[in-house]
Amino acid sequence: MTGYKRNQDSFQASNLNDNGNNLITIIENNDKESICWKYFEPFKVPSENGTITKCTISGCTQRYKWCGSTSNLVGHLKNKHGITKSSTSISSTMSTVKTINSGPEINIPLLKFIVSSGAPFSIVDNLKSAGFVNPIIELSTSNIIEDQINKAYNRLFLQLKLKAQQETTITVSIHETTADAKFYISYIVITCNWLTKDFEPHKILLLANKYYSETEEDKDFFGDIIDGLEKWELTNLKFYYEYDNTDFIERLWYRQEEDLLQDAIPLCTNKYNYFSDLKILIQRTLKLWARENAYNQEMVEIVKAIKNATDNLCDVVSFLKIDTVKREIQNMQITFNYPTINCECIYHKIAFIKLMEKPFIQLVNNYNSYEVFIIREKGKRFKELMLDSLPFGIFPKLLQLFKPLEYITCSYHKISTEEYTDIVGKIIINSENMLRELHFSDDLEYKVIKSLLASVPLCFDLYFKQLGLFLDPRSNSDEISTEVKKYALIKCKAYYLKNIFSYDLDKSIQASDKELECYINRPQSSYINPYEWWQGSKQMLPGLAALAREYLPTLTVDKEDPIKNLDKLITTYNNNDDDNMAEKIAFLQYNMKYIDLYL
């Protein structure tokens, strides 16, 4: 465990937020004259692939990938908001950043005592009056302690939020726990875990919420849960695991408007029908690709249009099939035969919209000139979504890529695991063949298609539990199925294609083949620390190491650490002025090991 402890020490020493001064030093050294950090948040240390920061000016939703340079951010402030460094004060900029660790000092030992014991705040006053505390020692009074708990919670929440956001992927666990058996008080506890690029395991409590009935007056349990999760702004959520409440996520999906959890993969033990997965496979692939490239400045407008089209595909098709709209299209001065659509699957809707390219663009561009209300209303909305700038030239490529779905999603109602993996395999083969046949061009459409084809294997997640076992270096490779090894090879090849060999398929195949062979033939041992092993092997096996960071956390996701004294916390703080005090103390208690790092 020496290496593991050394890694921990290294992590603590190098972490940006080990103390309040490091964060300010980084900014003062690198961006001494910058005004950005007054208007962009959250500020995060750049990850290996850059870090996302967003503009906080009212009404602006612009985000950028920040890799150390602030030129894009400065340009945005100047061009969009008319803000330059001459129009604002640098001192006020720095004060914004300093607020992360500024404010009144927190009595850490006393905070830990209250949090770990679950004792009421009044215990400090009682200890003083009973003479157990030396009178010359100044301790916070109970009302100040409550204020410090709130400050500690707010600071730790912000720091852990920034830390979780900068990771490549995270896994979330959701379970119900009975905190007080006598009164049947239940809580929903949500945690997340991940591995850093140095293979440091982390697990934090996101929230603990009292589980009350949906029928209770003035209560909105699922609304509270959604609000609690949304404030973490986790766009890197990959897997989720549910313990007891098997329909919890489904009900969250039904309630929420955003796709906070929509693209997360359930770590369910048994699944017999993949029809619903195939039904949304095209949309999910395009959404994941769009999310990955959302901050690519060269492709940003096209990516936005494709994402909007993906989200509104059904609405567009329905609009084009309205009788009044069809009549207007038939009156257009263009040569056009109105197509029929016999299947409502996504594949055929894409084919339909491709055929409707010219009339659709004309309707959207000239929506204001039509007297038909639905055209004016929908046309304006589609214009705002930039659907008139869709790269229709890539639609035939999408149809070629997803050709295996042409008939399956129309006629089937049940898809087995074997059928699903076979279809996905054919789509991946299509992507490789199309990538080979793609002729170089310097235009934007070519770059979009190339990026999408290279991303396809990364958008599918099969055999995730078996893949996690395979990537545990303590496992016996002979006991892992050939299908799982093939899938690991596909993922590894995609890593090289995107990150090392810049879309050179042949070099990526050679490197991934060699890497998989090396890993399978490694010396076997059941006594090694898997995280230490991968930290020492990541330079030699970069593709599989990237997979291990994603999939190893799925092996421990069901090993939940209980919140100590949760029933006592509820009883102690139930009548507190702050309705959420028990949850805040539970948050501080579960995440206790981070208090010394960040407070």
Confidence band, pLDDT 50/70/90 cuts, at residue 372: very high
Closest by CA to 209, choosing from 587, 562, 583, is 583
Mean of the pLDDT values across residues 146-156?
89
Other beta carbons within 10 Å of 208: 27
Task: Classify residue 43 by its DSSP letter.
Answer: -
More confident residue, 175 or 545: 545
pLDDT score recorded for residue 278: 80
CA–CA separation, 487 vs 501, rounded Å? Answer: 20
Name the average pLDDT for the chain.
Answer: 77
Contact 238, 192 (CB under 8 A): no
Q: Which residues on neighbouring strands pair with residue 188, listed in sequence order?
A: 176, 209
- Over residues 38-61, the pLDDT tens digits come to 777 754 444 555 667 778 776 676
Q: What is the largest CA-CA distance in the chain?
A: 95
pLDDT score recorded for residue 23: 32
pLDDT score recorded for residue 179: 61
pLDDT score recorded for residue 152: 92
Does pLDDT of 255 surpass 70? no
Q: What percentage of the chain reaches a pLDDT higher than 70? A: 72
CA–CA separation, 376 vs 363, rounded Å? Answer: 9
Does pLDDT of 113 surpass 60? yes
Contact 64, 72 (CB under 8 A): yes
pLDDT score recorded for residue 575: 60
pLDDT score recorded for residue 269: 53
Task: Give rounded-to-5 percent helix, strand, coil for the chain.
Answer: 55, 10, 35
pLDDT score recorded for residue 19: 36
pLDDT score recorded for residue 49: 54
**CA-to-CA dists, residue 10 to 7, 18, 375, angstroms:** 5, 12, 61
Pick from 66-80, 126-140, 390-404 the range whose average pLDDT is largest: 390-404
Does pLDDT of 153 surpass 70? yes
Domains defined for the chain, CATH in brackets: 19-98 (no CATH), 158-267+557-598 (3.30.420), 295-390 (no CATH), 406-555 (no CATH)
CA–CA separation, 164 vs 202, rounded Å? Answer: 9
pLDDT score recorded for residue 213: 55
Confidence band, pLDDT 50/70/90 cuts, at residue 554: confident
Closest by CA to 278, choosing from 400, 427, 455, 489, is 427
- Over residues 325-340, the pLDDT tens digits come to 998 988 887 766 777 7
Other beta carbons within 10 Å of 9: 10
> Starting at the edge strand that comes first in sequence, how are the strands of the sheet with 51-55 ordered?
40-41, 51-55, 63-66
- In the numeric block, the tokens 């309705």 are attached to 579
pLDDT score recorded for residue 397: 92
CA–CA separation, 556 vs 252, rounded Å? Answer: 24
Mean of the pLDDT values across residues 5-23?
36
Mean of the pLDDT values across residues 114-138?
72
pLDDT score recorded for residue 176: 73
CA–CA separation, 87 vs 78, rounded Å? Answer: 10
Mean of the pLDDT values across residues 104-120?
79
**What residues contact residue 588 under an 8 Å CB cut-off, 6+ apart?**
111, 115, 149, 152, 153, 156, 595
More confident residue, 148 or 123: 148
Other beta carbons within 10 Å of 523: 6
Confidence band, pLDDT 50/70/90 cuts, at residue 12: very low
Does pLDDT of 314 surpass 50? yes
Mean of the pLDDT values across residues 563-568?
67
- Over residues 444-487, the pLDDT tens digits come to 888 889 888 988 888 877 787 789 899 999 998 888 889 899 99
Confidence band, pLDDT 50/70/90 cuts, at residue 105: confident
pLDDT score recorded for residue 577: 62
Confidence band, pLDDT 50/70/90 cuts, at residue 379: very high
Q: What is the DSSP string of 112-175?
A: HHHHHH---TTHHHHHHHTT-S-TTS----HHHHHHHHHHHHHHHHHHHHHHHHTSS-EEEEEE
Angle at 41 between CA 38 and CA 47, to 5 degrees: 125
